[in-house]
A and B are shown apart, each in its own frame.
Chain A
Amino acid sequence: MTTGQQHEEPLFDARGLVELNAHVPRVSEIDGEQASFDARDLTTRQINLELRWLLYEQGVKEVTVSNPAARHSLGAGLLTRCKINFEGSLGYFALGMIDGPEVHIAGRVGWSSCENMMSGVVVIESNAGSLTGAAIRGGDLVVKGQVGARSGIDQKGGTIIALGDAGSMTGFMMQRGRQILCGNVGPGLGDSMYDGVLYVAGKVKSLGIDCVEGEWTDADTELIERKFRIYDLGSPPEFQKFVCGKKLYNYDSLEPSERKLVL
C-alpha cells in the first residue's frame, strides 16, 4: 500500500491518456465498520484508492459505492474479506484478481469481469459482457442476466452461474470448475476444454471440439440445489451436463518434473 506516499510530479503524458497519481479522496461517510461514498466526481484511480483506504486502513468491512457510472477496473485487486455494494453498472475488468470480497452489483458489468478471481462472491443483478470470469480460480460468480461470449475462458476453478443466455464459445479452454447456465448457449460450447463441468438448462446451439455430454450423478444435483439455495435463485430447472471428451490432447496425470523422474 502506498496511499500514504503521494507522487506529485507529472508523468510524461503526450497524448493525455494517463490518469495522474491521485490522492486518496477521503470522501466516505464512515459509520463503524460500514462506509459509503459517491463516486460521481471521482476518477477510476480515486475510487480504487478510496476503497483500499477504507478496507485496509480504516477497518471498514462493508462499503457502498454509488454512481460508479460504468467505469473500468473498479474494485480490482482487493485481497481482503469484506462486503462491497456497487449501486450501478461497472465497466470492463471489474473486480479482477480479487481474493475474498463479497460483492453485489446493482447493474451490469462489461467485459472481463472478475478475471482471475481467487475467492469470494460476486452477484451481478443485470447482464455481463464477454469473457466473464476469465481464468477464475475460485469463488462464485452469479450473473442474473445474460452473459456475452467466452465466459469462463481458461477457467481454473470456482463456479459461474448465469440465469440468462450465454454467448459463443462458453467455457472455452476451461480447465476446472463449473458453469451453471440456465438459458440457451451459443455455438462452440466448451470448445477445447480440458476438464471441468458445464451445466446447461436451455438449448445448445452447437458443441465445441471435444466437448461431450456427461453422466449425471447425485453430486451434480446436490451442487446445483445448494448453489440455488445459497443465492436464493428459486427452484433449479433441469440441466444437461457437458464435460471434456479427452480425445483432443494426450492426457497425463504426471507433472512434467515427475515425468522426468519416471522416464
Chain B
Amino acid sequence: MCGIAGIIYKNGNGAHRIGRDLTSMLQSMKHRGPDSTGYALYHAPSHELTVRIKLADSTAPRDLEFADDVRRRRRETEDRLRAAGATVKSTEEANEYTYSATIDYHGDLKQLADYVESVPHAEVLSLGHSLEIIKDLGDARGVSTAYQLDDYFGSHGIGHVRMATESDVDIANAHPYWAYPFSDVAVVHNGQLTNYHQWRRRLESRGHRFASMCDSEIIAVYLADRMANGDALEDAMHHSLEDLDGVFTYMCVSEDSLGMAKDELAAKPLVLYEGDDMVALASEEMAIRAVIDKEIETYDPYESTVMVWTR
C-alpha cells in the first residue's frame, strides 16, 4: 500500500517547518504503512555539501562488536571523505548508526560516494547542497522524535510511510531514495514496478549502483541515468511513464522543485492541493488536512500526469 506525501512552499526561503508538517502528514497516514518512515527534506541551500551516511542497518544484530564496528566504519568513512579531496567542516551524529557531515567538495560526486561506500556496510543516504534524507523503522512520530525533525526548517520535502511488500523491512529498503549520484534529487514511490529486473540489469550494466532490492529504487536510478544523459528532471519524469511498467504514483524532488508522476492506469492515489503560497500532495486528503485545518479544494490528477512545482 504505502503512503506518500509532499509539500512545497512557493516563497521557498527555507524558513518553513517542513519537518513538523511532513511528520503530521505521514503520521495521519500511518495505516498505509507502519513498517518504516522516511523524509527527504530541503533546507536553505548552502555552498557546502551535506552528506548523510548510514554505518549499519537498524536491524543489524547488536552483538559485542557492534559498537566497535560502527565506530571503525565512521572513522574510515570520514577518512575517505578527506582522502577523496573533501574538507570536512563538521560532523553530527544523528544516532548510533547514522551521521551527517558538512563538507567542502568540488569534485565528482559519484567518485566521492563510491569511495565512501567501499567501506563495508556504509551507505550514502543522501548528498546535496540542501537535501537530507532521514529514514528509519517505525512510524513518523517515532522517526521524527529520534532524529529531531520537528525543528527542521526548509522550503520543501517529501515523505513516505512504507508497507513492505517486495523487500525487507530495513533502512536500506526504506524510501526516499537518493538519485545516486545526483546531488539534491530524491524519490518516493507508491506502487509496484513489474519490469524491475529488466531495468536493474540495464542500469547496472551502465555502471549504476543499487543499495537495495526494492523496486522503487529503480525510479531514482532511472531518473539519475536520464539526467546524466542531459535530460531535465521533468523530461526524465515524462520518459519514465513510457519506460516503467507497473502501477505507480511517485514524487520526485530536486533542489528547487517538487514533481509528481502517475502511471497510465491511475492505479495509485494522489490528492493535490494548490494553495496561494504552497502545494501539498498526499495519498489521502486526510494527510493534507493534518497541516491545513480548514475545508479545502482538492483534486486527484488523472492518468499519465506529470506535474512540477518550483519553490
Interface residues of A (CB under 8 A from B): 15-17, 69-72, 88-89, 91-92, 106-108, 110-111, 126-127, 129-130, 145-146, 148-150, 165, 167-169, 186-187
Q: Mask for B142-172, Cβ within 8 A of A = 1, else 0?
A: 0000000000000000000000000000000
User: Which of A106, A107, A130, A168 is in CB contact (< 8 Å) with B264?
Assistant: A168
Which of B34, B267, B271 has the largest count of A CB atoms less than 10 A from its CB?
B271
| A237 to B299 CA separation, bound complex (whole angstroms) | 24
- Would you call B265 an interface residue if the criterion is a C-beta within 8 Å of the partner chain's C-beta atoms? yes
User: Is there contact, CB below 8 Å, between B271 and A110?
Assistant: yes
A18 to chain B, nearest CB (A): 10
- Would you call B73 an interface residue if the criterion is a C-beta within 8 Å of the partner chain's C-beta atoms? no
User: Is there contact, CB below 8 Å, between A167 and B302?
Assistant: yes
- Which residues of B106-147 are within 8 A (CB) of A? 139
User: Is there contact, CB below 8 Å, between A130 and B286?
Assistant: no
Closest chain A residue, CB of each to CB of B298:
A108
A188 to chain B, nearest CB (A): 9
Closest chain B residue, CB of each to CB of A69:
B289
- Which residues of B177-213 are within 8 A (CB) of A? none
User: Is there contact, CB below 8 Å, between A91 and B266?
Assistant: no
With a CB–CB cut-off of 8 A, which chain A residues contact B303? 149, 167-168, 186-187
User: Is there contact, CB below 8 Å, between A17 and B302?
Assistant: no
With a CB–CB cut-off of 8 A, which chain B residues contact A110? 269, 271, 284-285
User: Which of A15, A108, A169 is in CB contact (< 8 Å) with B265?
Assistant: A169
With a CB–CB cut-off of 8 A, which chain B residues contact A16? 30, 34, 139
| A145 to B303 CA separation, bound complex (whole angstroms) | 17
- Which residues of B253-293 are within 8 A (CB) of A? 264-267, 269, 271, 284-286, 288-289
A41 to chain B, nearest CB (A): 13
| Interface size class of chain B, counting residues whose CB lies under 8 Å from the partner chain | 20 to 34
A110 to chain B, nearest CB (A): 6
| A130 to B289 CA separation, bound complex (whole angstroms) | 19
User: Is there contact, CB below 8 Å, between A70 and B285?
Assistant: yes
B249 to chain A, nearest CB (A): 11
User: Is there contact, CB below 8 Å, between B266 and A168?
Assistant: yes
| A17 to B266 CA separation, bound complex (whole angstroms) | 27
Q: A111-B269, A149-B265 are in contact. Are A130 and B300 (CB under 8 A)?
A: yes
| A167 to B31 CA separation, bound complex (whole angstroms) | 26
Instruction: Give 9 nearest A-B pairs by CB, closest first.
Output: A70-B285, A149-B266, A148-B300, A168-B303, A15-B34, A127-B299, A70-B286, A88-B295, A70-B289
B111 to chain A, nearest CB (A): 42
B287 to chain A, nearest CB (A): 9
Closest chain B residue, CB of each to CB of A15:
B34
User: Is there contact, CB below 8 Å, between B299 and A107?
Assistant: no
B291 to chain A, nearest CB (A): 12
A200 to chain B, nearest CB (A): 16
B261 to chain A, nearest CB (A): 15
User: Is there contact, CB below 8 Å, between B266 and A72?
Assistant: no
User: Is there contact, CB below 8 Å, between A186 and B286?
Assistant: no
Known: A89-B289, A110-B271. 6 other contacts (CB 8 A): A15-B34, A89-B295, A107-B295, A127-B299, A167-B302, A167-B303
- Would you call B63 an interface residue if the criterion is a C-beta within 8 Å of the partner chain's C-beta atoms? no
Q: Mask for B195-239, Cβ within 8 A of A = 1, else 0?
A: 000000000000000000000000000000000000000000000
A218 to chain B, nearest CB (A): 34
Query: Can you report 6 A-B residue pairs in the complex whose CB atoms are below 8 A from each other?
Result: A69-B286, A72-B286, A108-B298, A127-B298, A145-B299, A148-B300
With a CB–CB cut-off of 8 A, which chain A residues contact B297? 108, 126
With a CB–CB cut-off of 8 A, which chain B residues contact A89? 285, 289, 295-296, 298
With a CB–CB cut-off of 8 A, which chain B residues contact A150? 266
Which of B34, B269, B297, B302 has the largest count of A CB atoms less than 10 A from its CB?
B302
A93 to chain B, nearest CB (A): 11
User: Which of B31, B271, B299 is in CB contact (< 8 Å) with A17?
Assistant: B31
With a CB–CB cut-off of 8 A, which chain A residues contact B31? 17
| A155 to B271 CA separation, bound complex (whole angstroms) | 24
Closest chain B residue, CB of each to CB of A168:
B303
